[in-house]
Amino acid sequence: MPLTIAELMSKMPGAFLPEKATGVDAVVHFKFTGTEPGEWNATIREGKCEVAQGIPRKEPNMTLTADSADYIKIFTGELDGMKAFMEGKIKLGGDLNLAMKLMQMFKIR
């Protein structure tokens, strides 16, 4: 059975590598389109990652917009995140340096 966005987002805290996020205090806003549209946010602070559905209460440092199916492929390692960005499958707004760090802060299958 394929992974859903809700399942993937609920797994993010468990896949978080706090040693890769030293000094990071950020809010990331995820906007998904496609078969599973919706908005999620992740707060990374003090070596923890908390994920919630909806628009973040605090102004996000970065916004990531992607088709839900493509994002699942990136998180499971089927699609290279950088390649997806270069092909326009992922749109990023805000702190692009954070986007680069984000890819290393999570254990991707």
SS (H, E, C) the chain: CCCCHHHHHHHHHHHECHHHCCCCCEEEEEEEECCCCEEEEEEEECCEEEEEECCCCCCCCEEEEEEHHHHHHHHCCCCCHHHHHHCCCEEEEECHHHHHHHHHCECCC
CATH number of the domain to which 18 belongs:
3.30.1050.10
Neighbours of 87 (CB within 10 A): 11
* pLDDT the model gives residue 82: 87
* pLDDT the model gives residue 28: 97
The answer to whether residue 109 sits within a structural domain is no
Q: Quick check: 1 pLDDT over 70?
A: no
Q: What is the dihedral of CA 33, 34, 40, 45, to 10 degrees?
A: -80
Return the higher-pLDDT residue of 35 and 1: 35
* pLDDT the model gives residue 108: 67
The answer to whether residue 34 sits within a structural domain is yes
Which residues partner with 48 through β-bridges? Answer: 45
Q: Using only the alpha carbons of the chain, give its radius of gyration.
A: 13
Domain that holds residue 42: 5-104
The answer to whether residue 99 sits within a structural domain is yes
Dist CA 85 CA 62 (whole Å): 14
* pLDDT the model gives residue 107: 82
Q: How many folded domains does the chain comprise? A: 1
The answer to whether residue 14 sits within a structural domain is yes
| Phi (first) and psi of residue 55, to 5 degrees | -80, 135
The answer to whether residue 83 sits within a structural domain is yes
Taking residues 64-75, report their average pLDDT: 93
The answer to whether residue 38 sits within a structural domain is yes
Return the higher-pLDDT residue of 100 and 16: 16
The answer to whether residue 58 sits within a structural domain is yes
